[in-house]
Amino acid sequence: MDAITLKIAQVSSSYAFFSNQVFSTCSDLPLLSSFLCWSYHPSNLTADIAFRKTGASTTNCGVLTAYTTPITSFSLSMQQGDLSFQVSNLKTEYSSGEMIIFATQHLTDSLLSTNQVWQEGNMTGTTFNAHSMDSAHTLSVGTINFATGTTVGRTAR
């Protein structure tokens, strides 16, 4: 599994991002006050993506930094590294309790419809702490289809 890691209502395609970036599709992720927006570009098999988290705080981490990290086990090392697919244009924004990660994902035919996982946790200094294993975290998974603009997330039972 691969991940893009960040230290640290309703969504529609008309949400005003601080950078004035516009996305063709936005989806409420069903848990953890998170949202995903994207624009799929079939001519070059890329998707511009924005992951938005409301109620975020930078109290314990200072400067926000986004980077890719391969996930090969349940260890918490979260060291920067290459993924099995290309990601570019990583950047972050934070304002008024909203944290946003922007990226361009370079897709393959097998990634047009793919799994997604979103989590949140705390840090101590520069060390990631384990996220909670409550239902909000264990159910924060779903699928995304960039071509059709659909997402399916699991919901708490």
> pLDDT digit string (tens) for 144-156?
899 888 887 654 3
User: What does the domain layout of the chain look like in residue ranges?
Assistant: 2-153
Task: Note the maximum CA span of the chain.
Answer: 43
pTM of the full structure: 0.80
The segment with the largest mean pLDDT, out of 9-18, 76-85, 120-129, is 76-85
Asked if 103 and 22 count as a contact pair (C-beta separation under 8 A), the reply is no
CA–CA separation, 32 vs 136, rounded Å? Answer: 7
| pLDDT per residue as tens digits for the range 115-137 | 887 777 777 777 777 777 777 77
Distance spanning both ends of the chain, measured CA to CA: 25
Exposed / middle / buried, residue 56 (Cβ in 10 Å: 0-12, 13-18, 19+): buried
pLDDT at 62: 66
